[in-house]
A and B are shown apart, each in its own frame.
Chain A
Amino acid sequence: MSFGEVWNLIIANPILNVLVALTNLLGGSFGLAIISLTIIVRLVSWPLTKRQLKSSKAMQDMQPKIQELQKKYGKNKPKLQQEMMKLYKEAGINPLGCLWPMLIQFPIWIALYQSIMSALATTPENLLNLAQRLYSWEIVSQAIPLSSQFLGLDLGQTALEAGGLGLLLAIIVGGTMWIQQKMTAAPSVDPRQASTQRMMTLMMPLMFGFFTLMFPSGLALYWAVSNIIGIITQYFVTGGWGYLKFRSPFSQH
């Protein structure tokens, strides 16, 4: 069996068939099916997300201690790293733990991209290939072919092709990602680190906003909903907006 066949069998085909079945259950709306799948994915990855949020909260609580270390060993980088790792270890935190939920989502993004293109049959080849990838469930065969329209968007088209609505979707994806990152990114006292962090917080949403313009709107819908769910869960688990500060324009500082 080739890698492609294994990939289709284990990841891509189940996601494709669940998407098509959900579309049928939700009155033929492929957009609602993507939103539902996003919620399912979020529920399945909840144990990992919970760990990540807890670790994020713990890091938030440790900030005074970290800032103290940064002040103390600011000029001695190796020592600072060593002391910080010691601190993380004592608190039982893995600073790279926040990467896992994101890494786990990559295969889903890839499979979802393929499923959207395949399910919406953007080319005749995709429609014909779809026949070999669908399960013989009645709920699946009744839904084919799918309508790509959702809230005025063609989910098979790139946001760039969709015009104004696509641009709005790109802003939503970038904006929600920025909020989510601001909620978790602990401010650094070190000016160089702070500058890198600022760039990262800005670059990631910009990059995903750009991806939104380049990939099918269906995938962008997944990102937007996933980010919104992320913000909501983060708000309730960590108990607030984290490091995201809303400054009133009337405040003195």
Chain B
Amino acid sequence: MFLIIIALLPLTLVSCAPWGTQSAGGWSGTAVHDGTVYVGTRDGRVVAINSSTENLEWSYSIAPATALTSGLACSPSTVSAAIYTTPIISGDLVYIGTYSGQIHALTIDRGVERWVYPRIGSIGAIVGNLVATNETIYISSSDGMVYALDTTYGDPKWDTEPLADKLWTSPTVGDDTLYVSTFDGHIYALSLETGGLLDWSFESEAGFASSPVVYEDTIFLGSFDRHLYAIKMGSDVLEWRFPEKPADNWFWASPVVDKGIVYAGCLDGKLYAIEADTGRERWSYLTEDQNGKPSPIVSSPVLTDNLLIVVNESGTVYVFNLGAELGNDAVPLKIISIGAAVRSSFCAQEGLVYIRGEDNWTYAVDINEGEISWKLDLTKKEE
């Protein structure tokens, strides 16, 4: 019996240990629309915050579609109501995909559920952000399939065969085409209308870590081989790969492109500015945590009013002036710390950057004043 106990204890303890593996908690980011901030919380709710009054307007709880609890109680095999997708707003509805494999459409004014897809059961876990265009919402799922739904009623328009083991990246719309990147190193081009695979696809030896970004006729995305790739649409040949020697970690976050420059954050803590045509580095900047150590950039940078905003995992916000003279654009205008870890995507409007911290607070950072304007505890329910 002694042997059994000593064999059982370490395994049981380790599956619950904080330094062991991590269960699905979600990293939903913020979206802002007409002065209201929408965000998914770590306890499976979507909330709307009035940015002026700094109050919670409404909260909507998502119940897990299938609470699979095989394995030990605290093992990561438990499917929770975690939310990884950032809410998107189209018309009078806000949409969110859940790790339990459902898409919820809620009214933006009161958070009342308009529809849920699928109406019964669930699809694979949704991790990549949803995309809405032309009254259609596009979803990539952990079952490897891409789904297209009608935005008004949630009726299915089409779905694909599995394109990969799982899809955790977000699809991207470019012209009449939907581009999907996979962990096994493929980029697929799908018809927006039918979901059918188009003639062109791209295959790489390394898997793609980030969602594709379309700029003019080129797709930019990060890879697990610690490079950023540029691929001309319709071409089988790689346009360029940055840097020449692999970076110190993955390009996890999707880059942003502005005026011919690609801004890419890397998990090695560096922000790179790369010429979109040539793949040549313009400048790079090492972001750090409070102790001066490099801190990974997990969230995609955001562009607003000629400003580039970058937030690293340690919760430090960097603001770069892209209108500055060449050379000075690599020097941050402002560096502000929110004091909480950040893994979610964030948004900015009218001088405020809205960030959801891993501590489950939402922070509004005033980039002009260089300080936190307000913050709200997302664990608090409506008053």
A and B bound? Answer: yes
- Which A residues have a C-beta under 8 Å from some C-beta of B? 2-5, 7-8, 99, 102-103, 106, 109-110, 113-114, 117-118, 122-129, 131-132, 136, 138, 141-142, 144-145, 147-149, 157-158, 160-161, 200, 203-204, 207-208, 211, 214-215
The listed residue (B21, B70, B206, B226) touching A117 by CB distance below 8 A is B21
Given contacts A117-B20, A128-B252, 19 further A-B contacts (CB under 8 A): A5-B19, A113-B20, A113-B21, A124-B168, A125-B24, A131-B267, A132-B249, A136-B248, A141-B206, A142-B205, A158-B70, A160-B70, A160-B71, A161-B77, A200-B3, A203-B4, A207-B4, A214-B70, A215-B71
Whether A142 contacts B8 by the Cβ 8 Å rule is no
Q: Are B224 and A8 in contact (CB under 8 A)?
A: no
How far does the Cβ of B362 sit from chain A's closest Cβ, in whole Å? 20
B358 CB to closest chain A CB (Å) equals: 10
* A109 lies within 8 A of B10 (CB): yes
Give Cα distance in the complex from A235 to B206, angstroms: 44
Q: Which of A3, A103, A138 contacts B19 (CB 8 A)?
A: A3
Do B10 and A7 have beta carbons less than 8 Å apart?
no
Contact with A along B116-133 (1 / 0, CB 8 A): 000000000001000000
Q: Which of A113, A141, A145, A208 contacts B183 (CB 8 A)?
A: A145
CA distance A158 to B296 in the complex (A): 32
Roughly how many angstroms separate A208 CA and B11 CA in the complex, as a whole number?
11
A114 and B14 in contact, given A128-B252, A161-B70, A215-B71 (Cβ under 8 angstroms): yes
B residues 18-46 near A (Cβ < 8 Å) are 18-25, 27
Say which residue of B1, B20, B77, B252 sits within 8 Å of A203 (CB atoms).
B1
B229 lies within 8 A of chain A by Cβ = no
- Asked if B1 and A2 sit within 8 Å, CB to CB, the answer is no
Main secondary structure of the interface of A (DSSP, over half): helix
- Determine if A7 and B250 form an interchain contact, defined as CB atoms under 8 angstroms apart: no
Scan B171-205; emit 1 where CB is below 8 A from any A CB, else 0.
Answer: 00000000000011000000000000000000001
Expressed in whole angstroms, the minimum distance between the Cβ of A247 and any Cβ of chain B is 27
Cβ-based interface call for B15 (8 A): yes
Q: Is the CB of B76 within 8 A of A141?
A: no
| Alpha-carbon distance between A138 and B247 when the two chains are bound, in angstroms | 11
Which residues of A lie under 8 Å from residue B246 when comparing CB positions?
A: 136, 138, 141
B84 touches A124 (CB 8 A): yes
Nearest 5 pairs of A and B residues by beta carbon = A4-B19, A117-B21, A125-B22, A123-B24, A144-B224
A125-B22, A158-B71 are contacts. A204–B248 as well, Cβ < 8 Å?
Answer: no
